[in-house]
Structures are given as C-alpha cells and as structure tokens.
Amino acid sequence: MSRVPNPVRLLVLWVGLALSRAGLIDRHRARRITDLAWPRVVTGIARMSKNAVDVAMVGIAAGSGAIAGVGFAGSYWGLAFAVGGGIAGGTIALVSQSFGADADRELGRAVRSSVLLVVVLTLPITAGLWAFSTGLLDLISNDPEAIELGGRYLRVVSVGVPFAALNLIGSRVLVGADDAYTAMLARAGGAVVNVGINAVLIFGLDMGVVGAAIGTVLSNVVVTATFATGLVAGRVPGLGSFPVTVSPTGVYVDVGMARQLVSIGLPVMGRNLAWRLADFPLLAIVDVFGQNTAAAYVIARRIWGVMNTPGWGFGLASSSLVGQELGDGDERTAEAYGHEIVRFAVAVYAVSALLVFLFAEPIVLAFVDDPTTATVPIAVSLVYAACAATVLQGVSKGAAGPLDASGDTRWPFYSQAIGMFGVSIPLAYLGATTSLGLWGLYLAFVAETAVPAAINYHRFSTGKWKVISRSYGPRGVTGDD
C-alpha cells in the first residue's frame, strides 16, 4: 500500500528523507510515519477540498450571500465533528494500544462502545439543528439573505450529523490498526461522490444550497455503510481487506470501556468544541465588517482547511504510532516518534504554505463569479495571513498526537480554548471595533495556532503523558466480551 505512486506520498516522503539526511529524524521512522500519514493527508485534502467546492459551487450559483450562509451553517454542521471527533480520540487511543498489544477482545469492545456513544450524543444534535435551523443562523448574522439560505442548508444537512460522526469512528479504528490507506479510500471516495452529487443537484437540477446539503448527507451515508461492511465482514469489494474485524453482536454497553472513552474523549471533544464554538463569535464579529468581508473570511477559512490537512495525517500518525509503542511497553521509542513527527510536520506545513502563498489569488478567484468583486482582495490578504499561521500547526498537531495516544488529552483542550477564546477572538473583536481593522483578523489567524503550539509542545516535553498512559489501554481495562 505504501508504494502507491501518489504525489502527496512522494512529497511527504521526500521531505522525510531530506530531514533524515540532515540527521533530524530516523530514516526507518520517516518511512513508517510517511506510510501512515500520507493517506490521511489525502483524505483531508479531499474532504476539505469538497467543502471548498461546496462554497465555490453555491457562490457561483447564488453569490456572496450563499457563500456567507453556507459558511455560517457550516459552523453548526461542525458540531458533528466536534462530538464525533471527541469519542474518536478515545477510540484511536484504545484501539492503537490494543492493536499494539494484540488484544483483540478489548479492541472490539472499544469500537462497539464508541459506536453507541456517538449515536446517543449526535441524535439530539440532529433534532435541534432540524427544528431551529433559521433561528440558529439568526444568532450569528443580521444579513437576511445569508440567514435564509444558510437556514435551508442547515435543516437538510443536519440529517447527516450521526453519519459524519460514525465515519470518524471507522476512520480512527483503521488508523489505530496501522491502516490509514483504506480509511483514505473510503473517506476520500465519499468526498468525490459528494462533489459529483452536488454538481448534478446544484447546477443540473438548480437546487442551490439544498442540493449541496443533500449531497453532503448522501455521501456520508455511503461512507458509513462502507466502514460498517468492512469492519464486520473483514473486506469491502474495491477496497480490499480490513486490518481488523469487529463482531456486531458483542456487548455495546460496557461501563468500564465507556468510562475510558469518556475520560479520554471529553477533553478532545472540549478541544474540538472550543474550536467550533469559537466560530460563532468570530463569524458574528466578521459579519460586522459587511457581506464582502464575511464572504472573504469564509473563502479563506475553506482554503485554510485544505492547508491544515497535513495535521490530519501527522496528528493521527503520531497518535497511532506512539500508542502502539506505548501498548508494547516501549516508552523510549514512543517519545522518539513524538519528537520526530513534530519536526516532520513543521517541514511539510512549510512547503504547503509556500505553495498556497504563491498561488493565493488564482485560488481565491475560483470561488467567485465576478473577479472584480471587493471580496477577492480581502480574501487574498486573509489567505496570506493563514499561510504565516499554518506552519505552527505542525508543532500543535504533532505534539498533541502523543498526548492523545496516552490519554493525556486535557492539555490540548486547554491550549485550544486559551488560543481561541483568550487571544484569537479578542483580536478579531479589536479589528472590528478599532482602527486595527483587518489586522485583527490576520493576528487572530496567528494566535489560533501559536498558542496551542506553545502549550502542547511544553506539555509533551515534560514527559508526564508517559505516566498517564499506563492507566489506559489493555493494561487499564477489565471486563468481559
């Protein structure tokens, strides 16, 4: 699987081997990190590009109001990933340690408990978003067009919330079992399906934002069915064999396992929620600047999402590889992986940021139907700020990986909350209310990554996560199947 001639893999491997020649990372570990990280990076690129294409399609079809509306609604849709990602953080920690210790029974219990938890947690979210879609948009914006279009999008897309969360569980199970490639095929394939459905519904059937929402829901259902089939049957036609199988008839209500998932996952959920909830005041602040700036900000955030995809790969590679070494009792190698993944991630982020910086304007122009609109120069300047900020994501995500793998998930939560609510939002507010202007938004981008990078790396460097890891995984779980 690692020999697939993919340009992302080749770029990541080239950077890893260059760092190896410089004596910054071990050559064998560079290849292993690459093999696990690059499929997840591709998945991130596919899914974030899908989100960007959604915005571009509705922007071309319906203008800046639709861009702002879908962007506002997207913050509520992101609750699926905040909640699902929290439980999935516990899933990958327990699965990777169980996989490293060849503890198949504990692995199955972790997966079934994760599935039950995300379903229980996300169904109320679906009900709330469906019932109060327009009112929720009204909390963010005073733009009637954005509220109306965003509310229509949110009502439909809410149906996909449980499926999106379940997809995160399926993906983390495979990554924790050392197979990011199959997870990539499933989720990136779903993103491609999404774009195809959107093109037909938005342009062919003239369904606008509703068409974009339907495409998102259907593609998530397809991916959920793919993961469920593979984990139960052991293989999926076209994808091949899965590294682990999970019986669907085992125990789901496992108090001990659920307690560990919640203990690990709640801080991860809090971290994700801090980032997602921060979107609401940020978008409300950006709305003060006017529709052009709001649309520009949404465009820049979509591009930022694509730029941040290396963190998807290196963060999960770190969680998986460090977790496997911890499960095997080798804390020294686990720490070595942690240090080297931080260096590796920073280098890859720097390359990707440079590429986006050079082509920022043509990338932004792909989102609008009128190249002379005032949205374009604002969006380009915001993308430049994002390029400067994104390199620090390598430190933040890379250092958070060992903390997640060990169960020491509180500190990444603290770092995200402080960065967003303590620094980023106040800077944006100063930009909207003082002569600081757009510089407030530029600095908000930097603060969003600089603060978590400093806090996460400090916590990782203390080594306390290694002690915490000893109470989790196969050594810390008891119970029957």
| Res 476: pLDDT | 47
Instruction: Report pTM.
Output: 0.66
Rg from Cα positions in the chain: 21
Per-run averaged pLDDT (10 residues), the chain, 481 residues:
62 87 87 80 71 68 69 75 76 73 72 85 87 79 76 86 88 79 80 82 78 87 90 82 78 74 74 73 84 84 83 77 76 83 89 90 81 84 91 86 78 86 92 90 91 92 80 49 43
Phi then psi for residue 235, to 5 deg, are -165, 160
Contacts of 466 (CB under 8 A, 6+ apart): 326, 331, 334, 335, 406
| Res 2: pLDDT | 42
Structural tokens at position 70: 């879908």
Geometric angle at alpha carbon 393, from 392 and 399, rounded to 5°: 100
Query: 305, 254, 230: which is closest to 45 by C-alpha?
Result: 305
Distance, in Å, from the CA atom of 25 to the CA atom of 359, rounded to the nearest integer, reads 30
3 state SS of 308: coil
Distance, in Å, from the CA atom of 241 to the CA atom of 337, rounded to the nearest integer, reads 27
With contact defined as beta carbons under 8 Å apart, do 165 and 83 qualify?
A: yes
| Res 454: pLDDT | 93
Query: 78, 230, 213, 97: which is closest to 140 by C-alpha?
Result: 78
Helix (H) / strand (E) element for 240: namely strand 240-241
DSSP label at residue 127 = H
**CB contact burial 306-322 (16+ within 10 A = b; e otherwise):** bbbbbbbbbbbbbbbbb
Distance, in Å, from the CA atom of 369 to the CA atom of 365, rounded to the nearest integer, reads 8
Distance, in Å, from the CA atom of 346 to the CA atom of 412, rounded to the nearest integer, reads 18
Distance, in Å, from the CA atom of 440 to the CA atom of 424, rounded to the nearest integer, reads 9
Contacts of 290 (CB under 8 A, 6+ apart): none
Q: Is 112 left (phi over 0), alpha (psi -120 to 50) or beta?
A: alpha
DSSP-derived pairing of the beta strands 240-241 and 235-236: antiparallel
Contacts of 270 (CB under 8 A, 6+ apart): 86, 413, 417
With contact defined as beta carbons under 8 Å apart, do 184 and 43 qualify?
A: yes
Query: 190, 185, 176: which is closest to 243 by C-alpha?
Result: 176
* Class of residue 144 by CB neighbours under 10 A (exposed 0-12, middle 13-18, buried 19+): exposed
Alpha carbon of 353 to those of 39, 99, 306: distances in Å?
Answer: 19, 35, 10
For the chain, counts of helices (H) and of strands (E)? 21, 2
**CB contact burial 359-368 (16+ within 10 A = b; e otherwise):** ebeebbeebb
